[in-house]
Structure 1
């Protein structure tokens, strides 16, 4: 973790932190951000419209409305005819309404005002007249209108006539979604005022500013609220026909014109998909709030801590999803599941009766997306740094195929020590140390670089891993970081090729340089600890353990044994003995356990291999006579094959079953 942060760098780390902070901010405040408010409102409207309860006509509330036909009959459009209102109020009172709310501003003085005032004074049921101040609604009410309203209230106010607020708080997109907040100097809201002195009163709605509960009609021919033209109620003969729709009900008087007092609701935006609804008349909004109050349908409010917790969960999920390392299809399923959860959760809350107005239904998934992007970008930067590190660290020490595989799948390169069975190789250039005292440093550097380039190329060409250079010595291994089935064959071929490359180097040295010795190679197969060691400041991918030490001892054993490429039995067993000839059992310097060693020879060394195998077999059997005969056969070859002559000498100096100590 700490290393990853360092690889990210302070600038990228600061950017990632800022993005995560932005993600949390968006997840908490999406309803307040201009770019997101419309999206949040649109999703809220879909929730409301989709989950709105279908109901039959509400038998508690009736709308009495001015219509275009009323205006044509009276010859008045604005202000609406007050004689008709006076006559309707008289009949509503006689029919026994529970209370009357008037959603019509009685501001401009009219000749028939005395008739209306008289009707209001005499009406036996409570009446609540629309009232507003210019301070509470400066965009709709002028100071002059306010004075007219005050004069009207002064003229009619009494035990049964009181003012009520008809102001609505539409959102920025001019959609009515929430109960209006109570404003200073204003009476109670119309729906609250009409019930506050009745058994239907619910004081919780006095200062409620949450969501309006909208309902939809169960049938297109049965509206949520009965609606009667006001001129129908103004006529005593036809008014009697409406008694069932008036008696014992709350009656709201307003206007139903095609181009006046029409308000958008959550149904408006979704009309083509769900409701077929368009704009709603203002008096119907008041009726909707009144019905909600009568049903005591106060939605449960989500506490602020729940919103904060939801935002934190969204951001953490986004960050965790970007950080988790799974298959692509698993990641896709996780992303789809989370986004589906973000989409469904607000609907579930709405259905459960919670107020999801101001719930960040867009903010949470957007915060998730920002966090996912921030962490994903940071991880990509870390991966790029690690890839650059791997490419730089491995490019000079691994074959291209192995390096490419590790870059595609970094997990293949363990960044800690692990036990692996590997083929360990040590090589050394005979007499090079003495050469450094006889040649100028510049020439030594040139010769050494040339030599190491040749041997490094051999290792990489045969799929090996370059461990290190120790002076003129090359250390390499096969089987890590990636193991292949033919690692044994590759290692053996590389050992032979390194000897041949050393011979080619000897022939290529410039004139005047003293003769250079042979390249000797030791090869062993066994377990070692491989991985990155040295600390984070300076690391090296290397192998440690007895297998590496054994290979180093085998390389040193070449000198006293007269061999060039010496391998342990463990190597010969892996590839077969055809390319090897046995060199007996020796006790390597610094080791107590004997090791059976074999010299790697060419395919044409049938005679030398036959003699070596026969010598070792005769020695093991304790057959001194056979050993003497074989020694005689080796004598003519001793000059051309010093390793074979040395083998005879060692076997003669040791007892059967005894190993030769190299000291």
Structure 2
């Protein structure tokens, strides 16, 4: 790479001497030399040729001396490495120059061997700074890309650790959360673009912050829908517990958001959440040009199906048995055995509950009615009817009562 040097000196013979001394380096493309006769001319030249790498400047010059030029160079955003040339023994000016940010100094009369050595040392310093800036820019770009998916601290660690480390495609056991909003298509068709944009940005931003608070990974954002992973890219032994806790907080945040929008006269749909735990192919699938950290596999599809199942069940959160089993101190009530679209085997599902809801008397009544339904006991129907009579807002109990009234038996059900 060619290093461009600007020499600033008013001595008429210096340019010819410099060109003669460095003719080989100029011929070989190692150096490109420019010349100015004072500080003002040097600043004009730098403005026209920002590719200049270093400045070699005398101190005593007309119009603008070398120390004033140095001060201007240090004020610039793109600071140039500067070598100051001073009369032999002029330590006062040399100290001033070094204090103002000069990289090195030379004394007159110039020793050309010393000049060449100093220039080479400065070039090495410039190359080092370039490499540091390059790495910093790469890290900043990596951090910007990673911040779309990972919590700030995790994004920072991944960016520092080096590209690809920890995000290569691999099979991992993960907990996957899918979220979606009911009636979002209607909102898109009716809301003004500026209103929709503001709503969606606030909603996705708030939901993402909840995910990051639980150190989850946002694998995808598609319109109003989020796909979240736990135990990827780093190990989280408690990933199922984290996923359930995150789902509760997402649900609470989404409900509060809906209430705030309703107060403003905006009808914003309920957020549905599905969670499943199992193996998935996880990593960066963006190729060479893009960063797209996501996951694929049957377990991912199951989480998406569980999210959709809420629509039929009347629930807001639905999790698989693998999640309920793996989560520490899981509290919830059974939903039944779901025959999900695209699957031949039933999947046992649960509705996770917060402690106060789990300990409420109606939850015990639901469990008793569900046990009767699972056993094929005809008393299940009146048990659910009594529960719905006392708690008309219990959508899941109402769902089962409707099934039983329509002649269904047991806990296995085919969802649309």
Superposition TM-score, scaled by structure 2 size:
0.64
Partner of 2:116: none
Q: CA deviation at 1:470?
A: 1.0
Q: Residues 149 and 293 of structure 2 are in contact (CA less than 8 Å); yes or no, is this contact kept in structure 1? A: no
Identify which of 198, 212, 215 aligns with 1:446: 198
Contact 2:276 2:323 in 1 (8 A): yes
Q: Counterpart in 1 of 2:319?
A: 567
Could you say which residue in structure 2 is the equivalent of 1:646?
399
SS of alignment partner, residue 501 of structure 1: helix
Higher relative contact order (Cα pairs below 8 Å, separated by 6+ residues): 1
C-alpha contact 2:381 2:404 (8 A) present in aligned 1: no
The answer to whether the Cα contact below 8 Å between 1:583 and 1:612 also exists between their aligned partners in 2 is no
Contact 1:413/1:481 (8 A) holds in 2: no
Could you say if the C-alpha distance between residues 610 and 539 of structure 1 is closer, same or farther in structure 2, counting changes exceeding 3 Å?
A: same
Query: Are the equivalent residues in 2 in contact too, given 1:435–1:514 (CA < 8 A)?
Result: no
Aligned residues of 2:262 and 2:268 also touching (Cα < 8 A): no
> Which structure 2 residue ranges, 5 or more long, are not aligned?
4-124
Structure-2 separation of matches of 1:641 and 1:529: 37
The reply to whether residue 617 of structure 1 matches residue 375 of structure 2 is no
Task: Provide the secondary structure at the position in 2 that maps to 1:531.
Answer: strand
Within a 5 Å distance, the mapping from 1:341-420 to structure 2 comes to 384=136, 386-410=138-162, 413-420=165-172
Q: How does 1:154-193 map to 2 (within 5 A)?
A: none
Seen in structure 2, the aligned counterparts of structure 1 residues 562 and 504 have a Cα distance that, compared at 3 Å, is same
Q: Does 1:635 align with 2:388?
A: yes
Instruction: Report matched runs for 1:42-191 at 5 Å.
Output: none
Q: Alignment partner for residue 581 of structure 1, among 325, 333, 355?
A: 333
Q: Is the 8 A contact 1:523 1:566 kept in 2?
A: yes
Q: 1:630 to 1:429 in 2, by over 3 A?
A: same
Higher-Rg structure is 1
Counterpart selection for 1:524 from 258, 276, 285: 276
Distance 1:474 1:563 in 2: 18
CA distance in 1 between partners of 2:293 and 2:134 (Å)? 20
**Partner residue in 2 for 1:545:** 297
Q: Which has the higher strand share?
A: 2
**Partners in 1 of 2:400 and 2:163 — Cα distance?**
47
Question: Which of 604, 608, 619 does residue 362 from structure 2 map onto?
Answer: 608
| CA apart distance, 1:385 | 5.3
**Secondary structure, counterpart of 2:190 in structure 1:** coil
State which of 491, 506, 510 in structure 1 corresponds to 2:258: 506
Contact 2:388 2:394 in 1 (8 A): no
> What is residue 493 of structure 1 aligned with on the other side?
245
Write out aligned runs for 1:229-244 (5 A).
none
Shift of 1:384: 4.4
Q: Distance in 1 between matches of 2:402 and 2:165?
A: 47
Tell me the secondary structure at the aligned position of residue 624 of structure 1. coil
Measure, in 2, the Cα distance between the counterparts of 1:399 and 1:457: 8
Distance 1:576 1:633 in 2: 32
Counterpart-to-counterpart distance in 2, 1:484 and 1:449: 29
Distance 1:521 1:535, change over 3 A: same
Name the SS for the 2:289 alignment partner: coil
- Taking the aligned partners of 2:186 and 2:265, their CA distance within structure 1 comes to 12
Aligned mates of 2:145, 2:396 — CA distance in 1: 40
Give the Å deviation of 1:497: 0.9
What does 1:278-297 correspond to in 2, within 5 Å? none
Q: CA separation of 1:548/1:629 partners in 2, compared to 1, >3 Å: closer, same or farther?
A: same
Aligned to 2:110: none
The 1:510/1:563 distance shift into structure 2, 3 A limit, reads: closer
1:200-232 Cα distance to aligned partner (Å, 9 max, x none) = xxxxxxxxxxxxxxxxxxxxxxxxxxxxxxxxx
What is the CA distance between 1:414 and its match in structure 2? 3.4
3-state SS of paired residue (1:597): strand
Q: Distance in 1 between matches of 2:362 and 2:277?
A: 25
CA distance in 1 between counterparts of 2:163 and 2:237 reads: 20
Q: Which residue of 2 aligns with 1:596?
A: 348
1:514 Cα deviation (Å)?
A: 3.8
Partner-residue secondary structure (3-state), 1:509: helix
Structure 1 residues not aligned, in runs of 5+: 1-10, 16-372
Distance 2:164 2:400 in 1: 44
Q: How large is the Cα RMSD of the aligned pairs?
A: 2.9
- SS of 1:475's equivalent in the other structure is strand
Deviation by residue 1:33-74 (Cα, 9 ceiling, x = unmatched):
xxxxxxxxxxxxxxxxxxxxxxxxxxxxxxxxxxxxxxxxxx
CA contact (8 A) 1:582 1:612 kept: no
